[in-house]
Structure 1
Amino acid sequence: MIDLRSDTVTRPSPGMLQAMLQAETGDDVFREDPTVNELEARCAALFGMEAALFCSSGTQTNQIAIKCHTQPGDEVICEANAHIYLYEAGGISFNSGASVRLLPGDRGRINATQVAAAINPDDVHKAVSRLVCIENTSNRGGGSCYSFEALLAIRAVCDANALGFHLDGARLFNALVARDETPQQYGNLFDSISVCFSKSLGCPVGSVLLGTRPFIAKARRIRKLLGGGMRQAGILAAAGLYALEHHINKLKTDHIHAAVIAGALQHCSFVENILPVETNIIIFETRGISAPDLAARLRKENILCNATGPDSIRFVLHLDITEAMVHQVVKALHSIKKND
């Protein structure tokens, strides 16, 4: 089965499993797990930030960060299709008591002018604008990447208005590879960064939250408050260390595979529109066949994908997808075209 539903479906490679089996462990709540400590220190150093916190998921790191940055009654500014708003179970309101200002974006990306216009005045009738969150790459934007110049402009608006700046970097390494940027550039720019290891980096579990030492100390307390303290978590952290060493250089292959499939889709009669493909995500609109029907037809060809709407399909490439599988997907797409 060729699974294009998400890059979360990857399974640990033999090398990663071996690293997990050999991991030295301790009680992380007591700060005694050496492998967790090593992963946190490695990530902080990689991004040039002071400290890091290992958590169970990107949703957890995002929600902890938002709670650290805000007070109940504050407002978070983000793009209308942001993961923190659409796919984190209403966590901003539930966990932080904050409201959200949604901005229409360009494939999931907002700009400094929009952010500046969205900041509330100092008025007792208004929520206090407190935090700007961006997502890079943007999931609903088809894996789109921000330009670094656009991020610098948003940072300037945040500085001028005393706003925090948080990055949902669920697929940040995809953006770094695609744009030939460095982690240190992002560490210098953001107040906090969430990096997910269980998507393109191929780990079974885990995300890391990055920030200053006081910020991460507060985040550690909130992680405990939310029930997220882990014990012998080095087994999981070892997978993250392995991914940093062995999987980042494989992301470019995922991007190439996505481009190959996108190229094939351009010649399919059932495709209405394809979002520009920058990284490992392909989102396209169908015509003459509903997205659920197309997904069902692909399933008969042993290809799994997600219908993200009545006429929208998403493919996500990842390290478990081989070149031979890509050719099989292309062949299946062409066969559907012939039978249309």
Structure 2
Amino acid sequence: MKIDFRSDTVTKPTEGMLEAMMKAKVGDDVYGEDETVNELERKLAAMFHMEAGLFCPSGTMTNQIAIKCFTQPMDEVICDQTAHVYRYEGGGIAYNSMASVRLLNGERGILTPELIEPEINEENIHYPKSSLLVLENTVNKGGGKCYNIDQIAAIHHLCAVKGIKLHLDGARLFNALVATATKPADYGQYFDGISICLSKGLGAPVGSVLLGSAAMINKARRVRKVLGGGMRQAGFLAAAGIYALDHHVERLAEDHLHAKALEKALHEANYVDNVMPVETNIVLFDIVKGLKTENVVQALAKKDILCNATSSKTIRLVTHLDISAAMVDRTMEALKSLKVKS
């Protein structure tokens, strides 16, 4: 049996989730008639104390819709240089919104008011208008690092003073909530938009929900249609999201424990130069100089352990609900004993 640490997107629906999907009440969501989609949108909006939600096929779509809603052509989006919206969404900010991007260098992707404020453009015809700040929580390329609520409150205050919208790419937000013992309701007051991915740690097969004000979500619904994201009997997918929210949130703590165990094993491996401190379910480690990441990845694959290289020196392991304690034990032994050719 292969042990797949490539991403938490590789999970399969559980039996309970499949049963919920098959029993879903569906209708045409483009007409607003899918009961289960409507329930999922209301459920998440209520959890985060926001007015409305919009179910979409992917987190990339929810992020790109939000950016489109919060900017105009010739505006500028501020984000960290590691941000998913910049690196992994196909140049969508330029293509969809015709906005430029101001990249910051946060510590493991975490931004602060001190980093942000000097990069906000003053009103000047030579400069793009700084109109939107995007945070990511957890930070993927920061090894699953989390913002705490006090950091977010301080950034929100700056944005409010400067008249800038604040959007959260919450692809793994529930991992952050569990790790920091924070309630979803604490978040809604600080963000104009929040993207919640259901198909990562929560284990649903497809889907993300964009949260915001009723007016913003009404606009977002039009943008979703233009992008081809208007689904029909989508309740079968929404039912998986509802099931995940009801059954898979608290268990994220298990994924975090599994990641910590892998971190410990990597510290004992002679081919590892550095391990980024683990906070949630992402483990990033650098290999020693002279080795190639592809050789490490291939050596692990021969032991039926799958992972990805994220750069010429860094490899990523991601834990999720399809990784058991026994799989982690087996992987720890493999990591410690692995022989890699240079």
Normalising by structure 1, what TM-score?
A: 0.99
The one-character-per-residue Cα deviations of 1:200-225 (angstroms, maximum 9, x if unpaired) are 00011000000000000000010001
The Cα of 1:314 is off from its aligned counterpart by 0.2
Correspondences of 1:44-123 after superposition (within 5 Å): 44-123=45-124
Secondary structure (helix, strand or coil) at the match of 2:296 reads helix
Secondary structure (helix, strand or coil) at the match of 1:132 reads strand
Correspondences of 1:1-340 after superposition (within 5 Å): 1-287=2-288, 288-336=290-338
Aligned residues: percent identity?
56
The one-character-per-residue Cα deviations of 1:137-159 (angstroms, maximum 9, x if unpaired) are 00000000012211111111100
Cα distance in 2, alignment partners of residues 289 and 332 from structure 1: 18
Letter in 2 for 1:214: A
Letter in 2 for 1:139: N
The one-character-per-residue Cα deviations of 1:180-237 (angstroms, maximum 9, x if unpaired) are 0010111111111000000000011000000000000000010001111000000000
Q: Which moved more, 1:294-303 or 1:328-337?
A: 328-337
Cα distance in 2, alignment partners of residues 52 and 296 from structure 1: 42
Letter in 1 for 2:200: K
Letter in 1 for 2:306: L
Cα distance in 2, alignment partners of residues 77 and 317 from structure 1: 30
The Cα of 1:338 is off from its aligned counterpart by 9.6
Secondary structure (helix, strand or coil) at the match of 2:155 reads helix
Task: Kindly report the root-mean-square deviation, in angstroms, between the aligned alpha carbons of the 2 structures.
Answer: 1.1
Q: Which runs of 5+ in 2 are unaligned?
A: none
The one-character-per-residue Cα deviations of 1:279-310 (angstroms, maximum 9, x if unpaired) are 00000100142111000000000000001111
The one-character-per-residue Cα deviations of 1:232-253 (angstroms, maximum 9, x if unpaired) are 0000000000001110011000
Secondary structure (helix, strand or coil) at the match of 1:61 reads helix
Cα distance in 2, alignment partners of residues 309 and 132 from structure 1: 26
Q: Is the 8 A contact 2:296 2:340 kept in 1?
A: no
Q: Is the 8 A contact 1:268 1:337 kept in 2?
A: no
Cα distance in 2, alignment partners of residues 106 and 292 from structure 1: 27
The one-character-per-residue Cα deviations of 1:22-74 (angstroms, maximum 9, x if unpaired) are 11100000000000000000011010100000000000000000000000000
Letter in 1 for 2:318: V
Cα distance in 1, alignment partners of residues 341 and 134 from structure 2: 45
The one-character-per-residue Cα deviations of 1:80-139 (angstroms, maximum 9, x if unpaired) are 000000000000000000000000010011111111111001110000000000000000
Secondary structure (helix, strand or coil) at the match of 2:124 reads coil
Cα distance in 2, alignment partners of residues 289 and 15 from structure 1: 44
The alignment covers a number of residue pairs equal to: 340
Q: Is the 8 A contact 1:35 1:234 kept in 2?
A: yes
The Cα of 1:339 is off from its aligned counterpart by 9.0
Letter in 2 for 1:305: C
The Cα of 1:331 is off from its aligned counterpart by 1.0
Secondary structure (helix, strand or coil) at the match of 1:107 reads coil
The one-character-per-residue Cα deviations of 1:161-180 (angstroms, maximum 9, x if unpaired) are 10000000000000000000
Runs of 4+ in 1 over 2 A off after TM superposition: 337-340
Letter in 2 for 1:290: K
Cα distance in 1, alignment partners of residues 209 and 79 from structure 2: 21
Q: Is the 8 A contact 2:284 2:316 kept in 1?
A: yes
Letter in 2 for 1:304: L
Cα distance in 2, alignment partners of residues 306 and 166 from structure 1: 28
Q: Is the 8 A contact 2:139 2:145 kept in 1?
A: yes
Normalising by structure 2, what TM-score?
A: 0.98
Cα distance in 2, alignment partners of residues 339 and 95 from structure 1: 45
